[in-house]
């Protein structure tokens, strides 16, 4: 917690990620300019020009294929997770650190409903949201906060300085679309209305549900999966990850997975040393 919420290093990583996101999206837009130099978000003859493929994987995609959905002439958007991606939950994490309490669903629900004024924007987010909106890009939040607390989620985003969000349009929550905690259903629904130029999150499930198959999390396999060719090529090229050493699927490895047997070293003093 001290690293994510208190260190300059974590702030720099977040700024770096949002800088890279903004530069990437700006580049996509500039490459899509027509010969007259018009931005693709400018309507001509009542239509929008075609964009490249979106950042959202098609249904049934695998790490080996990782095919993305087409965009056609939809308006551009960036889709982001909320917690520890757009906002930092300082109030909640303070209470957890102070009490040492384990995660509790009812406690988190109380936080969602009452903690909207105890969050701050992730470093770099406010500037990135402003710059991307100025380019004509819609910012869409896809969060596993409860749809029952949609108004409180929108308030938290507004309080953090990230602007206005409308439930069902620019704010999607757990309970929407298919009711699942996996986000693929919501991502595909968003992709019906927007060309999703980039995805941003702090957990791999913010990019594709294929990283979180049913059953116990295969921690070592997940690490290898992130480096499979078609997936590896997406990091920084439409998929942008923010640091979160506090909670989530990234903390699943044990001793043996973290330190392979053939890479272990033990200090042995030289013979005769005192």
Tell me the residue range of the domain where 148 lies. 2-29+86-263
Model confidence pLDDT, tens digit, residues 50-84:
677 899 999 999 888 889 988 878 999 999 999 99
| Domain presence at residue 170 | yes
**Strand runs (DSSP E) across 125-207, as ranges?**
138-146, 171-174, 195-201
| Domain presence at residue 207 | yes
| Domain presence at residue 156 | yes
Q: Choose the weakest-confidence range: 40-44, 201-205, 244-248.
A: 40-44
Question: In the chain, pLDDT over 90 holds for what percent of residues?
Answer: 73
Residue 80 CA neighbour count, 13 Å, CB half:
26
34: confidence class by pLDDT, cuts 50, 70, 90:
low
Residue 173 CA neighbour count, 13 Å, CB half:
17
| Domain presence at residue 36 | no
Residue with tokens 């109380």: 110
pLDDT tops 80 at residue 49: no
User: What is the mean pLDDT of the segment spanning 85-97?
Assistant: 97
Q: Two tokens at 52?
A: 């490249």
Q: Two tokens at 113?
A: 């409903």
Residues 167 and 177: their CA atoms lie apart, in Å, by 12
CB 182 within 8 A of CB 208: no
User: What is the mean pLDDT of the segment spanning 43-53?
Assistant: 57
Q: Could you tell me the pTM of the whole model?
A: 0.91
Q: What is the CATH number of the domain that holds 223?
A: 3.40.50.1000
Residue with tokens 């090529």: 233
| Domain presence at residue 71 | no
Across the chain, what does the average pLDDT equal? 90
| Domain presence at residue 125 | yes
| Domain presence at residue 117 | yes
User: What is the mean pLDDT of the segment spanning 4-23?
Assistant: 98
pLDDT tops 70 at residue 39: no
| Domain presence at residue 241 | yes
* Bridging pattern class, strands 195-201 and 76-80: parallel
pLDDT tops 60 at residue 113: yes
Number of domains in the chain: 1
For residue 20, which phi and psi values (nearest 5 degrees)? -65, -40
């Amino acid at each position: 917690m001290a690293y994510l919420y208190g260190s300059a290093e974590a702030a720099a990583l977040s700024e770096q990620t949002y800088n890279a996101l903004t530069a990437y999206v700006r580049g996509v837009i500039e490459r899509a300019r027509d010969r007259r130099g018009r931005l693709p978000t400018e309507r001509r003859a009542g239509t929008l020009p075609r964009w490249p493929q979106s950042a959202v994987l098609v249904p049934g995609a695998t790490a080996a294929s990782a095919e993305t959905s087409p965009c056609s002439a939809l308006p551009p958007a960036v889709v982001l997770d909320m917690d520890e991606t757009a906002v930092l939950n300082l109030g909640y994490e303070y209470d957890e650190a102070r009490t040492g309490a384990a995660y509790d669903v009812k406690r988190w629900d109380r936080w969602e409903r009452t903690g909207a004024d105890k969050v701050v924007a992730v470093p770099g987010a406010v500037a990135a949201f402003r710059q991307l909106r100025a380019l004509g890009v819609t910012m869409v939040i896809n969060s596993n906060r409860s749809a029952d607390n949609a108004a409180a989620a929108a308030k938290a985003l507004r309080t953090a300085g990230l602007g206005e969000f409308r439930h069902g349009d620019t704010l999607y929550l757990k309970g929407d679309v298919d009711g699942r905690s996996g986000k693929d259903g919501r991502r595909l629904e968003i992709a019906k209305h927007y060309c999703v130029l980039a995805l941003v999150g702090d957990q791999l499930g913010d990019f594709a549900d294929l990283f979180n198959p049913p059953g116990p999390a295969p921690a070592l396999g997940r690490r290898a999966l992130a480096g499979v060719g078609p997936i590896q090529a997406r990091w920084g090229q439409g998929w942008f990850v923010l640091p979160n050493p506090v909670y989530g699927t990234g903390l699943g490895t044990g001793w043996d997975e973290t330190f392979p047997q053939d890479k272990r070293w033990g200090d042995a003093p030289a013979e005769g040393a005192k």
